[in-house]
Amino acid sequence: MRFTREQQDFAVAVRELCDSECKTLQQRDALTEGGTVANSSALLEKFAGLGWLAVSLPEEHGGGGAGMVEECIFLEETARGLAPIIAYSTGLTAAQTYLRYGTEEQKHTIVGNMASGKLEAIALSEPGAGSDLGGVRIKAELVDDHYVINGQKTWISAAHVAEHILLLARTDASGNKHQGLTLFMVPAASPGLEIHGIETMEARTCNDLYFTDVAVPASAVVGTPNQAWRHLMRGLSVERLIIATMALGGAQRSLDDVIAFVTEREQFGQKISSFQAIRHRIADLATEIAFAKSFVYDVAERIDAGEEDNLNREGSMAKLKCTEIAKKTALEAMQMMGGYGYTREYGMEEQVRRSLAPPIYGGTNEIQREIISKSLGL
């Protein structure tokens, strides 16, 4: 696609702000308490003040009123800039469901939070239900005018910094596993809800959630009771595109950094960029990233044209390809940088760590391949 002048200017503005605020390791450490937290409230507030958060969400609910193309520009450039606002994308994903099925009050609350720099989370996975969400066992029982929730969720991104949890729970066990599921908007500060961090190779992102007699009003239901499976199966192209676009930005950053390194580093009396083996590996990566970017923005443009419900295959393709090329680029870049790629100072080790989880979350890439193959009649 061809970007408008306004879209090009927006990309430049986001890139320049990231360069001024978090380009160096020292800047990122200052924003993240030495790399121990994944989200900078100060940076989120700065983006919010500029009107860049929730840029694609409806203006009537407090969003920016722009399109998915603009949102992808923001996601790509902040990922490329290593901006520590990882949980923003989680909230953006949750917002898609609220906007489709939520009440006016729920929509206004969620979009308003996103636009102001507050964060939201979505809780689907359980110890026995990851790729197979039909296996959800956490229970929400209707008692008079409220629901009582008991059970556990796991691998829940951003729950510890979120205002609300978009929760998938079982409200009726009489049918098959895809029936009797309901979505709820649960305040993260609800009595009886415990949030425990899961230690990973990155700063705290994921959590275990334990619900013990957590009470929410019947008005907390998002959409139609017992119809959550149908709700979750619609509109997935946006959620997958969000992950794809961030991976695209990460891939571009890895490529930028390795090019900068090989054009400065000398071995055997010459720049290592003069070696054909290095040049050709970088040429291959740059080509794959360019093709992935073209595809991502084509999908975004089609979503803005109202084709969202017809793009499930394309959304899966975007998520699959972009997360794979982000991982490949970071690993290739680390190898080309030698020992320097393994140090914190040069930042590539951070890129490698960032690239490993996206092929797993948001529906594993194995699941994406199943979706794509089935759409082809296989």
Structure tokens of 15? 């890139």
DSSP H or E stretch at residue 186:
strand 181-187
Q: What torsion, rounded to 10 degrees, do the Cα atoms 179, 97, 158, 169 define?
A: -20
Query: Residue 347, by phi and psi: left (phi above 0), alpha (psi -120 to 50) or beta?
Result: left
> How many Cβ atoms are within 10 Å of 136's Cβ, its own excluded?
24
State the Cα–Cα distance between residues 190 and 330, nearest whole angstrom. Answer: 40
State the Cα–Cα distance between residues 152 and 359, nearest whole angstrom. Answer: 24
- Backbone φ and ψ of 156, nearest 5°: -95, 110
Which amino acid, one-letter code, is at 59? E
State the Cα–Cα distance between residues 357 and 364, nearest whole angstrom. Answer: 9
State the Cα–Cα distance between residues 331 and 172, nearest whole angstrom. Answer: 46
Q: How many residues does the chain have?
A: 378
What's the angle, vertex CA 292, arms to CA 287 and CA 293, rounded to 5? 100
- 143-153 burial, b if ≥16 CB within 10 A, otherwise e? eeeebbbebbb
Structure tokens of 66? 């722009």
Active site residues: 239
State the Cα–Cα distance between residues 32 and 30, nearest whole angstrom. Answer: 6
Residue with tokens 């084709």: 307
Paired residues of 85 in beta bridges: 39
Give the chain's largest Cα–Cα span. 79
Which amino acid, one-letter code, is at 366? E
The DSSP code for 24 is S
